[in-house]
Amino acid sequence: MLERIGFIGLGIMGKPMARNLLKAGYSVTVYNRSRPAVDELVEEGAAAAESPQEIAKNSEVVITMLPDGPDVEEAVLGLDGLLAGANRWLLIIDMSTISPGAAKRLAEAARERGVGMLDAPVSGGDKGAIAGTLSIMVGGNEDDFKRAMPIFEAVGKTITYCGSSGAGQTVKACNQVAVALHYAAASEALVLGAKAGVAPEVILKVLGGGLAQSRVMDMRGPAMSQHQFTPGFKARLHSKDLRIIMETAREYGATLPFAALADQLYTALVQNGGGELDHSALLTVIEKLSNGSIGDTQ
Ligand code: NAD
């Protein structure tokens, strides 16, 4: 018998993930701050709830897919939050990207109420969410991980147990360091080429066939070279992730000079009005610094 699932946060990632759970045969109750995504999923067979508390009452497992730590805290600990409606068999799976420290604190608060909680952030982007092929990195109790496995398999492909509470978010922070720096590298390569008169298509083709090849460049390079920045992953969320990375680095005494620079460049992008663009729009910051556009060679 499939467990009844609650789903909170139906944005770029959450909506297709909830849809894949419906497709896998789960009964899903959804809640989101804005209504249109809720209505869409109700038409496809989901039930709607008016609060996280109501979701908890109607579910055995609840997934949260929200922007940042304070949003997850509100959904879990708020007056009408999940713990206010939780039965003792409830398992909360937070798949948002939040700080490892916040993930640990929330799991501890849940544990005090007898409720299990996993941190299970994802990578693979909107395409992975739609295709059900996300990479999922999980922290928390191992029995809870085993219980959640069939649910993870309905939305993801590479599913890795990383360790105790917070370990999934730590791995996600590492992932986001690498992704930010791949975008910085792609942006600088494209701008250098364009300034010297070489078209972006040539740069992408040549780099894609050698040691500089990256998934970031393969997947987003063609859109970047056309200045198409429809999200995807919003720049303001990557800026949030870099804040988490720098806080975590400070906490553990890791020195990350390149991530610190990426943090500043993403701040510049968000402050210049690019927060709702895809994070590949980091290119526009490098273009401005060089007073040029990679379109100039076309
Ligand atoms: P999004 O902004 O598209 O969606 C967030 C959704 O949450 C929105 O529908 C919003 O209405 C809802 N919401 C916000 N606060 C709420 C609250 N307090 N209660 C209920 N609903 C609330 O964001 P997204 O791109 O879907 O990202 C969600 C999380 O996944 C973030 O932590 C992000 O960093 C992470 N993530 C995103 C991607 C990606 O490619 N988009 C990839 C990996 C991880």
pLDDT in tens, 205-233: 999 999 999 999 999 999 999 999 999 99
Domain end residue (candidates: 123, 140, 165):
165
Task: Specify the number of domains making up the chain.
Answer: 2
User: Same domain for 55 and 18?
Assistant: yes
Q: Is 63 in the pocket of ligand 1 (CB under 6 A)?
A: no
* Mean pLDDT, rounded, of the chain: 97
Q: Is 295 inside any structural domain? A: no
pLDDT, residue 296, reads: 84
User: Same domain for 202 and 275?
Assistant: yes
User: Same domain for 134 and 181?
Assistant: no
pLDDT in tens, 118-141: 999 999 999 999 999 999 999 999
Q: Is 102 inside any structural domain? A: yes
User: Same domain for 211 and 243?
Assistant: yes
Q: Is 137:86 a contact under the CB 8 Å cutoff?
A: no
176 vs 296: which has the higher pLDDT: 176
The closest-lying atom of ligand 1 relative to the alpha carbon of residue 240 is 34
pLDDT, residue 298, reads: 54
Q: Is 140:116 a contact under the CB 8 Å cutoff?
A: yes
Q: How far apart are the first and last CA of the chain?
A: 58
Q: Is 96 in the pocket of ligand 1 (CB under 6 A)?
A: yes
Two tokens, residue 198: 């070489």
Q: Is 298 inside any structural domain? A: no
User: Same domain for 141 and 193?
Assistant: no
Two tokens, residue 7: 């789903």
- Is pTM beyond 0.85 here? yes
Q: Is 33 in the pocket of ligand 1 (CB under 6 A)?
A: yes
Protein residue whose Cα sits closest to atom 7 of ligand 1: 9
Indicate the Cα dihedral angle 281, 287, 292, 293, nearest 10°: -20
Q: Is 9 in the pocket of ligand 1 (CB under 6 A)?
A: yes
Range of the structural domain that residue 143 is part of? 5-165
Q: Which of 172, 195, 205, 240 is catalytic?
A: 172
Centroid of ligand 1 to alpha carbon of 234 (angstroms): 10
Query: Does residue 283 carry a pLDDT above 90?
Result: yes
CATH number of the domain enclosing 63:
3.40.50.720
User: Same domain for 201 and 158?
Assistant: no
CATH number of the domain enclosing 237:
1.10.1040.10
Protein residue whose Cα sits closest to atom 8 of ligand 1: 11
User: Same domain for 49 and 143?
Assistant: yes
Average pLDDT value for residue range 278-291: 98
In three-state secondary structure terms, 158 is strand
Domain end residue (candidates: 165, 180, 211):
165
* 172 a catalytic residue: yes
User: Same domain for 76 and 188?
Assistant: no
pLDDT in tens, 18-76: 999 999 999 999 999 999 999 999 999 999 999 999 999 999 999 999 999 999 999 99
Q: Is 294 inside any structural domain? A: no
Average pLDDT value for residue range 171-189: 98
Q: Is 296 inside any structural domain? A: no
Query: Does residue 145 carry a pLDDT above 90?
Result: yes
pLDDT, residue 54, reads: 97
